[in-house]
A and B are shown apart, each in its own frame.
Chain A
């Protein structure tokens, strides 16, 4: 789960990391009046989408009236489609330099890597790739190894030593709090030489929620913010991501669902969703899948493509026949492809209900794409 800047900074501050002093979080412009603020300050939109700086989500304010206006303006602006949940007011810092520092989990390292760039800030993507120190397990971090690497990119000895100490602390938080990313961009060197975390992007590992009560609670409220369809699927152990296309795809397994999406595109169609039913291939699971696809006006035809490994496709066929019969005439066209374990029985069950079981994914995909174009798809 990606935390908001203010949440991430609070987590890091709790472990003694240097965040800007005297910050306030407000959720409406009226809230600015009661605060004792020092100026100038930075008003920063609290959103999860990136690129907020370039989109006007960080504003300098020289007085209370300006701060109120900035808060109102930011709260009324969408950033990457997302309305800010609040505005963070922080002292405008006397910046001498901006660097980049992060501690992230990386598959290649089998664990953590530390990344450092002597020039950070909003243009980080445009610069050369940051220095990379791979160490894997947190306990394998060695200051002397990191130092040797830092010496190749960072000329300022004092900065090097402070960065090393800071990295050790970030790593301790990441390990204790199950964070997969702690990214500080910019890491700010103040005019007095001290370092302070200008921004913080903290991603916590959802899978570790069982050992962090506050993460569990945050996930529950994040789930409440999800669109209803996605939330209902999560509750039913289905994986749903809505896409833009017209072919409603019901599949099983993440890899095969993506393979079927790609096959639909290769046949000239476009998938309306990623919908993986492998977590709940039951009447309730398939019933919900059909309900959502039937209700979505963008879906013009439905493809059910399941390859039975452990799954018995004859049972799936019986479930589908029940659902299809209950939908009645005039419903969106449905194309079926059940292969693998139990598929001969599945074909018979479907045939008895007047349905065709396509023998291959490719044949079924061609058929469903054709059906999205046929006039009866609009019926």
Chain B
């Protein structure tokens, strides 16, 4: 009933190529955007913004970057964490060298550094595939984290070896650093994430998206329809690492405020990979669903006992959390191995039919 598509006819290819051929999808997105931009900032507490909303957005963005590489172009990568690190360190250096630069510009520029590094570590993909490629990208993980530790120029020769975000102003408002208001940071992250997501949607539904998917589905056939595999794979590495790099810069500048090299180690890579897999490979929306499950749910579960007036030792809560999240991940993967996005697609299909399934 709610999702009935009857009566929605397309009379031009222009209309057929719209982002949402079904009107209800556009409304749904409208509602979500209004919530994200208006309702949530007005309602949410500082804790919720800092612990839930900003990380969900940043992790979703990182997963989006990985999804372009793994879900769309079919190249498995375990170097996401390191590429995020490249973005973060690049942004830190750019801000150090040009303190007056607009933060948006700095973050956009830092993406190019991670893109270049991503392409360099993507070169093995021209020769090797699948798990073997994943191992090759693991080299990025080890090498880059080592570099973050040893190359002291990267962290301005700090005694601590960590990068510390100073206050960064944009148009007279502090957007990053200790003095920044969480709501400002939330809007900043939301803006960047929304724009990048829109770009990613456009790329993946156009020619380049089809080229990537064809390489993923059957690389030999792709070559024989005239696709240059080298270009296709390296462009996927470039775009993916660019987005991952931006996510890394946001990760440090708009959320953590400081970072040590080991923050970008393998666990971060795996976390992003889990989000992409559980959300759904080859889907844009899946990254958000995955991020909500992996990042937000533990935080919400952690606050539950307090809300019910129970006093459980925080260590116990932490353990319970791990168990519940682990069980949920297994549950979702068994119910729908193609991720939450596919689960939603099935629900949506059923809703379109409902209540007359024939």
Query: Do A and B share a complex?
Result: no
Q: Which residues of A contact B (CB under 8 A)?
A: none
